[in-house]
Amino acid sequence: MAGLPKLAVWKFSSCDGCQLSLLHCEDELLPLLGRIEIAYFPEATRTELDGPYDVSLVEGSVTTPEEAERIEAVRDRSEVLVAIGACATTGGIQALRNSADVDELARVVYAHPEYLDTLETSSPISAHVEVDHEIQGCPISRGQLLDTLLAILTGRRPNLPQSSVCMECKMLGTPCLMVTSGIGCLGPVTQAGCGALCPSYDRGCFGCYGPKELPNTAALAGRWSELGIPADAVARAFRTFTGNAPAFREESDRHG
């Protein structure tokens, strides 16, 4: 296997769901291993090959002083660094603490908070080191992960559109739920990639792929209000999986 590019998969503060997307590739996984060598991936193998690594996938956000140091070391040993998932690209659900008192939260949650050594905030990887590609989503799309790896191996640009979920609904032929049913949907401000999964099942998008390019959250929130959706529901909608992404956080703050 000598000569194949080396892949490392790193975990920071996260649920492991995004790195499992790589194992979830199943049928594609074995052929992929003909082109890339897994050098570090504790979820999959005990093998640990030293760096430097050609490609590093980084899952999770930075929430401890130890992680803040470790991400620097990962960056130093990686040729291409790809942040994967809502945690790594925005800070994730755990960034809810960014607008609360961390010490107070720790006292409520842990019997012995004195053992914790945690940062005030949960922050995305890009707040600490340079990131080459970001794959948004909670969890990420298997297809986007594979395409990004193949793009890096081939030397082409990954197909990671930054446009809205609406494009995916329209391409699938799913009629707009806001228009036909008057329900709240974050699709118009959320980045595509999920294949418009929720609207396909008559559920409004809840923004787990994070903000699209230049999202007009104020106009969408205004329409939600016209549809009779209360302000606290608007605030919660923007403060879920990617609530620490600046556009969503600011819109959420405007509503409570």
Partner 1 sequence: MATDTSSVLLPDALEVIVQELRGRGWRVVAPVRRNDAVVHDEITSVTELPIGWHDVQTPGSYRLEHRGDGAFFGYAVGPDSWKRELFPPRAALLSARRDGRASTDGPGDTAGTGTDDGAGFVVTPAVPDRRRSAFLGVRSCEVAAMEIQDRVLLHGHHVDEDYRARRAQAFVIAVNCTAPASTCFCASTGTGPAVRAGADLVLTEILDDDHRFLAEVGTTEGAELLDLVPRRPAEPADVAAAARAVQAARHRMGVTLDTEGLHDLLLGNLEHPRLDDVADRCLCCTNCTLACPTCFCTTIEDATDLSGDVAERTRVWDSCFTLRYSEMHGGRTRTSARARYRQWLTHKLATWVDQFGSLGCVGCGRCITWCPVGIDLRAEVAAIRADQEAGAGREGASR
Task: Give the binding site for partner 1 (CB under 8 A).
Answer: 28, 31-32, 34-35, 146-147, 150-151, 153-154, 156, 159, 161-164, 166-167, 170-176, 178-182, 185, 187-189, 202, 213-216, 218-220, 222-223
- Shortest reach from residue 192's CB to partner 1, in Å: 10
Q: Which is nearer to partner 1, 108 or 179 (CB)?
A: 179
- Shortest reach from residue 206's CB to partner 1, in Å: 15
Backbone dihedral region for residue 247 (phi beyond 0: left; psi -120 to 50: alpha; all else: beta)? alpha
- Shortest reach from residue 180's CB to partner 1, in Å: 4
Nearest Cα neighbor of 190 from 181, 199, 182 is 199
Q: Which is nearer to partner 1, 93 or 166 (CB)?
A: 166
Q: Which is nearer to partner 1, 111 or 214 (CB)?
A: 214
Q: Which residues, in sequence order, are CB contacts of 34 under 8 Å at separation 6+?
A: none
Q: Which is nearer to partner 1, 224 or 241 (CB)?
A: 224
- Shortest reach from residue 70's CB to partner 1, in Å: 31
Q: Which is nearer to partner 1, 121 or 225 (CB)?
A: 225
- Shortest reach from residue 56's CB to partner 1, in Å: 20
Nearest Cα neighbor of 126 from 135, 137, 113, 139 is 135
Beta-strand relationship, 133-135 and 6-11: unpaired
- Shortest reach from residue 135's CB to partner 1, in Å: 16
Q: Which is nearer to partner 1, 17 or 161 (CB)?
A: 161
As given in the structure block, the two tokens for residue 252 are 């959420």
Nearest Cα neighbor of 123 from 75, 162, 97, 90 is 90
Q: Which residues of 193-203 are buried (b: 16+ CB within 10 A; e: fewer)?
A: bbbbebbeeee
**Diameter over CA atoms, the chain:** 61
As given in the structure block, the two tokens for residue 63 are 């929430």
Q: Which is nearer to partner 1, 49 or 171 (CB)?
A: 171
Identify the bridge partners of residue 13 per DSSP, sorted by sequence position.
Answer: 61
Alpha-carbon distance of 5 to 3, in angstroms, equals 7
Q: Residue type at 140? A: I
3-state secondary structure of 58: strand
CB 189 within 8 A of CB 214: no
- Shortest reach from residue 146's CB to partner 1, in Å: 8
